[in-house]
Amino acid sequence: MENENNKELDAFTDSTENNDDKEDAPEIEKVKDSQEELLLCEDKLQRVLADYQNLERRSKMDVTQKVTLKVNQLMLDFIGIYEDFIRAKSALTDEGADTEGLLGVIKNMETILSENNIKEIEAIGEIFNPKLHDAVSTVEDNLLEEGTITQEVAKGYISFQEVIKPSKVIVSKKK
């Protein structure tokens, strides 16, 4: 666009070459001003476009982040109930009750977790990893390798690569 303007300016200059320079001067100035204004507008336009693209990218990211956060929160609430069902199964099994139907419910719940790529974090017997586990206390044990998880106080979960809830654990420590 800049080149086209220059051509226009050249053409304008050529066609008036025989005229008095003094008479041409204001016209040339006017064109120069317009040209500068145009450059400014172009620059502004480019910036606005860049801002818009940034905003678009940022908005997309914001939406993704917010949706992920909400889904994770919802899944954690769901996991709370899923864990209650596991406890119920355990208690009912101890009492010798029929848990077949309950097992079916649990299986369905596990399918939902799987569909959302939510996995339990391995804990008992693993070496403590602060990226996955949250230590609530230690227990002295000379037989185990230092830092071995001996008890899982609360289960932890991972969704894709993100830890949505670290598992709360008790860790071994040598005397």
List residues near other proteins by CB under 8 A.
55, 58, 84, 87-88, 90-91, 94-95, 128, 130-131, 133-138, 146-147, 151, 153-154, 162-164, 166, 168, 170-171, 173
Compute the least distance from the CB of residue 64 to other proteins, in Å. 13
Q: Which is nearer to other proteins, 31 or 132 (CB)?
A: 132
Report yes or no: 118 and 156 within 8 Å, Cβ to Cβ: no
Map residue 99 onto helix, strand or coil.
coil
CB of 74 to other proteins, least distance (A): 15
In this complex, which beta carbon is closest to other proteins, that of residue 22 or of residue 131? Answer: 131
Alpha-carbon gap, residue 62 to 162, rounded angstroms: 17
By beta-carbon proximity to other proteins, the closer residue of 9 and 86 is: 86
Q: For 148, which DSSP code? A: B
Nearer residue to other proteins within complex by CB, 89 or 113: 89
Smallest distance from other proteins to CB 49, Å: 14
- Cα dihedral value 134, 140, 144, 150, nearest 10: -40
| CA separation for the pair 165, 92 (Å, rounded) | 27
Ranges assigned E (strand) in the chain = 118-120, 133-140, 149-154, 157-159, 162-165, 167-173
Which residues does residue 148 pair with via DSSP β-bridges, in sequence order? 127
Closest distance of CB 131 from other proteins, Å: 6
Shortest reach from residue 154's CB to other proteins, in Å: 5
- The residue among 35 and 89 lying less far from other proteins, judged by its C-beta, is 89
3-state secondary structure of 146: coil
